[in-house]
Amino acid sequence: MNAYRPITAAIDTAPLRDFVTRFADLIDRSRHQHEILATGSALLGQLIARDDWLPEAFAVPNPERYQQYLLHCDSRERFSVVSFVWGPGQATPVHDHRVWGLVGVLRGAERVQRYRRSEDGTIVAAGDEVLLEAGKVEAVGPDIGDIHRVANGREDGPSVSIHVYGGNIGAVERATYAADGTPKRFISGYANGVLPNIWDRSE
């Protein structure tokens, strides 16, 4: 018996499989970040336009902190797909990514505050906080603005977003930042020990 079937039996993961396949095709034909982000944003927008494909095991909030679940990692680690799950009041510290990324809100909403490094090295807000609601996609990256803080946009329930990054994000060395600009190294890892089986077409 397939060990992963209990996680995916009640869910049709075909939309995620199709997204992964199409995104891999995009990476194969283009190394230009602008095209990847533009076309990838449209692909991610199509994926999050429906909310019937994410196995519930990868949408479970934790009362202690937000969760980052790996849904797929390219065999050459060229891109990864993760679900972020936020409980009420949960937020990230100010942090960077060091690779390009796409963020699409599947359920609920996210509050996003971008930051930049000022001339004196401190980290300061760059513009107003933005509320990303379900169906919205935002891009991040070293060339377009890579430092931000994200929080659950709902006070009464969890929110879920789907992120795509230009690498195996759980293994990328990144940093959080104090207000004075001091970085603190971290590697995020993932909350899950198994992946959704998106490749089983037996049913």
102 SS3 class? strand
- Is 34 annotated in a binding site? The answer is no
28-37 contacts, C-beta under 8 A, 24 or more apart: 33/100, 33/141, 33/143, 33/166, 36/100, 36/166, 37/100, 37/102, 37/139, 37/141, 37/144
Buried b (16+ CB within 10 A) or exposed e, 68-92: bbbbbbbeeebbbbbbbbbbeebeb
Kindly list the distances between the CA atom of residue 53 and the CA atoms of 13, 158, 180, 198, 203, in Å, as whole numbers in the listed order.
Answer: 5, 17, 42, 10, 15
70 neighbors 80 (Cβ within 8 angstroms): yes
Annotation: binding site for Fe cation: 95, 97, 148
Annotation: binding site: 95, 97, 148
